[in-house]
Structure 1
């Protein structure tokens, strides 16, 4: 990624209060050239090191607030990771500022709560689309705009899970702004939000697979900005069976890293065929 390709020229007439970013992004403290074209987005900053442990090489390039960014390589493919903290507001800031320095592919990597029996603790959920139950994406676009994952990213994540032999499920995710009331859990002293008693069952009837808190905003913004995005989460809790274990944390990270390498193969195949967009008929480049 060259500086010429990745740098975003600011409007000299825009006041600094409206766009506080110069060469270095205000929240992430990254500049063009600090990050690869593809970035993994975990929530917890502590997951950054766990993700990069599986790479060929890596280096932390920025750390500010909840945002920790490292860049390196996986299977000889350039790759970066930026933690986003909990929830869609901070995830949207990460998407905004990464887009400004030239990133074109974003993969949410995290944990989730499944609401279907077949998604066991330790399995992976690959998001095809998301229910926009969070409020951040509403600040950007009308509420009936879909939060859909890029088909190439979904395909790469599925291929990665197959290569690695991990159990996975593909489907619709519900993204919320609350771990408790927004996901139908009781609040402090048993508080119950209006409609929370029916929430899980209503989503189950709509064939939704899981709850998490960032995917819908990431997917919505990526689509608005013409970027590729997807999400893969390890199941920590199954809300139907009552199981909860922090198990298989590194599975999602491994699958997402492998998917970045596979996306590079897809891009090579498209370039070799002289087309702008990869499709399954092209196979994978070597």
Structure 2
């Protein structure tokens, strides 16, 4: 048990999927895991452990933004022995060829700042995904009826961002999408020598203003959960 996670020793799997929304964790656990058990509900941040194809898996909410993600990822790695952490969440598309409902697999994640920024001082550390996980995720998409994009994303700690100039420059430099957690997750994984990846569903588009209707989100979000699970257990 930690300050933020009430799970007992052995309750958390070595493979953890991290949606930001705790209720998305509940939905994913109920729809993809066999015999999911609630292992954490401290501060309403739900975590469930069950099995997928015989493999033990935990699906645990991480909250919104890098500071919140940092708390849960640190404790999951340090206190519960998590070895593979995959963010499953939504993102906003920044390129015209990336559509709503598409899946984005993040190779790298840029950021203006994260909870780890102070460690590097004047160094611009470039956090990246685990290559084998990324490769396995790309392989997992074969045969699926969903467009997939692989490349760099942007992790912002400001949801209502008014830096249009920054968005323009990131778009100009090929950034696929924006979300709020992956850069810190990748940094922590690099620091602690564990595996991390972000598999994201495009829920809205910064250029067109298109957004995924709420009644269509579950089916689309299911694709990224399936990709994440297959990637986690590919030898």
TM-score, normalising length: structure 2: 0.91
Distance in 2 of aligned mates of 1:261 and 1:126: 14
Q: Match for 1:260 among 205, 221, 229?
A: 229
The 1:112–1:35 alpha-carbon spacing in structure 2 relative to 1, beyond 3 Å, is same
Distance in 2 of aligned mates of 1:123 and 1:131: 20
Deviation at 1:54, TM superposition (A): 2.1
Q: Match for 2:190 among 213, 223, 230?
A: 223
Whether the aligned pair in 2 keeps the contact of 1:218 and 1:229 (CA below 8 Å) is yes
The 1:66–1:87 alpha-carbon spacing in structure 2 relative to 1, beyond 3 Å, is farther
Gaps of 5+ in 2: none
Is residue 206 of structure 2 the alignment partner of residue 239 of structure 1?
yes
Is residue 53 of structure 2 the alignment partner of residue 75 of structure 1?
yes
Residue by residue over 1:213-236, the C-alpha shift from the partner in whole angstroms, topping out at 9 and shown as x without a partner, is 000000101100101000011111
Q: Match for 1:172 among 152, 158, 161?
A: 152
Is residue 55 of structure 2 the alignment partner of residue 55 of structure 1?
no
Structure number with bigger Rg: 1
Higher RCO (C-alpha 8 Å, min separation 6): 2
Give me the CA root mean square deviation: 1.7
Whether the aligned pair in 2 keeps the contact of 1:114 and 1:209 (CA below 8 Å) is yes
Deviation at 1:151, TM superposition (A): 0.6
Secondary structure at the residue paired with 1:89? helix
Distance in 1 of aligned mates of 2:170 and 2:11: 40
TM-score, normalising length: structure 1: 0.75
Is residue 54 of structure 2 the alignment partner of residue 87 of structure 1?
no
Whether the aligned pair in 2 keeps the contact of 1:91 and 1:218 (CA below 8 Å) is yes
Whether the aligned pair in 2 keeps the contact of 1:50 and 1:250 (CA below 8 Å) is no
Distance in 2 of aligned mates of 1:158 and 1:226: 22
In structure 2, what is the equivalent of residue 128 of structure 1? 107
Distance in 1 of aligned mates of 2:54 and 2:234: 11
Gaps of 5+ in 1: 1-23, 185-195, 267-286
Distance in 2 of aligned mates of 1:255 and 1:180: 25
Count the aligned residue pairs: 230
Whether the aligned pair in 2 keeps the contact of 1:66 and 1:85 (CA below 8 Å) is no
The 1:213–1:129 alpha-carbon spacing in structure 2 relative to 1, beyond 3 Å, is same
Q: Match for 2:139 among 134, 153, 159?
A: 159
